[in-house]
Structures are given as structure tokens and as C-alpha cells.
Structure 1
Amino acid sequence: MRKLSILFLKLSLLFVTLPLILLAGYGVFSLLANPVNPVYAWMLYPVIAGVYVSLLPLFWVFCHLYRLLEAVAGKKSPDEKERILKKLRKGSLFFAGVFVFTEPFVFQVAQEDDAPGLIIFFLIPAFFALIFSAVLTLFIDREETGRVLGS
């Protein structure tokens, strides 16, 4: 049953990654065919670049999640699992940092378009990445001490 669950999680990672790659490729070709209005380019291109830069740590995290699943299935040492968890935490923090870094440009777009919800909508991925990082911190503490926090 455990092997089946790990296989399901590996396939889930694959089915999440492939559409993201296809959507990113379609976005590049669509942007090349229809460039942004030059009046708004100074605030839209940094946002678009930030979204594409955030894909790098996201795919890096997916790769390390796959490695973690293989480590769990292969009964690897706790030290290796702990190293993978620390890399996952760093990747998720970098992912959140990219979104926070591009937030001033999103603020300008939201002011220009009179869409204040865009600011909150753009912070949602950073918020979930920070939650993921906090959960990983709990797992890292568990691996280091050998027990769950608070017990």
C-alpha cells in the first residue's frame, strides 16, 4: 500500500509539472506575438518576469519533492531526508521572496487598473509558500530531535 501511495504522489507531481511547463511555453509565445502596450510595459514586464523567475524555484522544489519520495520509499538515512527537507524549505522561501519582490510592480498595475484585489491575489502563492516552509520547519525539527514538537 505504501508503494502505491508513493507512486500516486510521484504521478501527481508529474501531472502538476507538465501543465505548468506547457502554460509557461504558451505564455512566452503569446507574449512574443502580442507585446504589452509600451505605456504599461515598465510595470507589466517586471511582473511577468517575476512569474517566470518564480517557476525556477518551483520546479526545483518539485524535483526535491520527488527525491524525498524516493528517499522515503528507499528507506534512506534520516540525514539525507533532513538535507532534502532543508533544500525544500530554502526553495519555498525563495519562491515566496520572488513574489514579494515583484509586489511593488503589482501594486502599480493595481492602481493603474483600479483593481485592489490584484495585490492580495498576487500574494496568495507567497503566503502558501511560507506555510509550506513552516510545515517543513516542523518536519526538520522532528528529524533532528526524533520527536514531534511539543512532546
Structure 2
Amino acid sequence: MKRVSTLFLKIALFLIGLPVLAMCIFLVPEIAKYIAVNPKQGYLKYLVYLDLYASAIPFYFALYQAFRLLNYIDRNVAFSERSVRALKKIKYCAITISILIGLGMPIFYLLAQMDDAPGIIVIGLVIIFASIVISVFAAVLQRLLQDAIDIKSENDLVV
């Protein structure tokens, strides 16, 4: 049963990564072309590339760390320092994503002004909020796991 649930979660991680990859390949260049229509604002195209591709890097690194965490669960070493380090890296990746998207919010604002679509700003805010929630959740899990490891090591010393 445990292997089936971790296999399901591994597949879910893969399926989470596919739309982001598709957006990086197809949508980001279109956004960059659209925002740089005015020749005076041609530099904005590179800022779009920098912001969105730079935020995709910690996203995929966090997915990789989550995959490693599921492998630790499969091998019955979930209560280890490696799991705590993986959760710490996921937390830092989520913080990095929220900072990068936050720094790119002026670009989202310009895009919303050009297209007259305020929903674009809301999408950016949702990404920031989701990253902060994931960061807090990973921090709580990291703390709980560290406490469980400490209790386990104390019990091992008593016996």
C-alpha cells in the first residue's frame, strides 16, 4: 500500500512538472514577444525571460527534492537528516520563487496595462501566495520531522 501511494505521488509530481515545462517552452516566448511590441520597451522581453525562467529553476529543484523525499519514504528512511535537508531545500525554493515572482510583478503590471486584463496581476499574486504557503508548510514539516528524529534518537539511547 505504501509503495502504491508513493508511486501515485511520484506520478503527480511528474504531472505537475509537465504544464510548467509546456509554459516555459510555449507561453513564455509569446509573453516576451507581446510585451516587447514597443521598440522602446524591447529590454522588457529579456526581463520576462529572466524572471520566468529563473523562477522555473527552483520550481524543478523543489520537485526533485520532493521526489527524493518520496524515495526516502519508500526505503524506510523517512525519519532521517536527509529528509530534513530535503524539506529545508523545498522551503528555500518556495521562498525563492515568491521573491522572483514578486520582483517580476511590475512586468505583470505592464502586461496587464497593455492587455487591459487585471487578472494577470491576480495570477502573479496567487503564485506568490501559493509559494509562501508551501514554504510555511515545508518549514512546519521540517520542524516536526526534526523533533521526531530527536525523540527517536533519545529513545534509542535509553534502550
Structure-2-length-normalised TM-score = 0.78
2:83 aligned with 1:81, yes or no? yes
Judging changes above 3 Å, is the alpha-carbon distance between structure 1 residues 112 and 30 closer, same or farther for their aligned structure 2 residues?
closer
Counterparts of 1:135 and 1:32, CA distance in 2 = 33
Amino acid at match of 1:24: C
The residue identity in structure 2 corresponding to 1:142 is L
AA at the equivalent of 2:58: P
Q: 1:125 to 1:32 in 2, by over 3 A?
A: closer
Task: Give identity over the alignment, percent.
Answer: 24
CA–CA separation in structure 1 for the residues paired with 2:118 and 2:11: 37
Task: State the shift of 1:137 in Å.
Answer: 1.2
Residue 146 of structure 1 aligns to a residue whose secondary structure is helix
Greater helix share, structure number: 2
User: Equivalent residue for 1:144?
Assistant: 146
Superposed CA RMSD = 2.7
1:104 aligned partner = 106
Aligned to 1:53: 54
Residue segments in structure 2 that go unaligned for 5+ positions in a row? 150-159
| Count of residues in Structure 1 that have an aligned counterpart in Structure 2 | 147
Normalising by the residue count of structure 1, what TM-score does the alignment of the two structures yield?
Answer: 0.81
2:154 equivalent in structure 1: none
Alignment CA distance shift 1:32-1:106 (3 Å): closer
